Amino acid sequence: MSMEIGVGFLGAGTVGSALIRRLIYESDAISSKTGLQLAVRGIAVRDTTKQRGVEIPPGLLTDDPGTVVDNPDVRIVVEVMGGLEPAGELALRALRSGKAVVTANKELMAARGSALLAAAEDSGVSLLFEAAVGGGIPIIRPLSESLAGERITSVMGIVNGTTNFILTRMIEDRAPYDEVLAEAQRLGYAEADPAADVKGADAASKAAILASLAFGSWVDGNQVPREGIEGLQLLDFDYARTLGYTPKLLAIAEDSDDGVAVRVHPTLVPVDHPLASVRGATNAVFVSGPSIGELLFTGPGAGGEPTATAILGDVIACARELLARNEVRSRIRFAQGRVRDMADVTTKWFLRFTVVDRPGVLARIAAVFGSHDVSIKSVWQEGRGVEATLLLVTHESPERHLQAAVSDLAALDVVSEVATVLRVHGDEP
Ligand code: NAP
Ligand code: HSE
Could you identify the atom of ligand 2 that is nearest to the CA of residue 194? 1
pLDDT at 330 over 70: no
Give which of 291, 215, 311 is closest to 254, Cα–Cα. 215
Cα separation, 317 vs 237, in Å, equals: 44
Confidence of residue 338 (pLDDT cuts 50, 70, 90): confident
Give which of 373, 172, 409 is closest to 271, Cα–Cα. 172
Q: What separation in angstroms does the CA of 75 have from each of 18, 100, 308?
A: 20, 6, 19
β-pairing verdict for 293-300 and 376-383: unpaired
Comparing 50-54, 184-188, 249-253, 298-302, the range with the smallest average pLDDT is: 50-54
* Helix and strand totals (H; E) in the chain: 14, 18
Arithmetic mean of pLDDT, 187-194:
98
pLDDT at 99 over 90: yes
Half-sphere exposure (CA, 13 Å, Cβ side) for 307?
34
With a CB cutoff of 8 Å and minimum separation 6, the contacts of 278 are 158, 164, 248, 284, 298
Could you identify the atom of ligand 2 that is nearest to the CA of residue 163? 5
Q: Is 186 helix (H, G, I), strand (E, B) or coil?
A: helix
Express as a percent the part of the chain with pLDDT over 90. Answer: 90
* Nearest ligand for residue 206 CA: 2
Residue 397 Cβ < 6 Å to ligand 2: no
Full-model pTM = 0.92
Cα separation, 345 vs 262, in Å, equals: 9
Residue 82 Cβ < 6 Å to ligand 2: no
Express as a percent the part of the chain with pLDDT over 70. Answer: 97
Q: How far is the CA of 80 from the centre of ligand 1 (A)?
A: 5
Could you identify the atom of ligand 2 that is nearest to the CA of residue 307? 7
* Nearest ligand for residue 104 CA: 1
pLDDT at 366 over 60: yes
User: What DSSP character marks residue 226?
Assistant: B
Cα separation, 176 vs 170, in Å, equals: 6
Cα separation, 306 vs 19, in Å, equals: 10
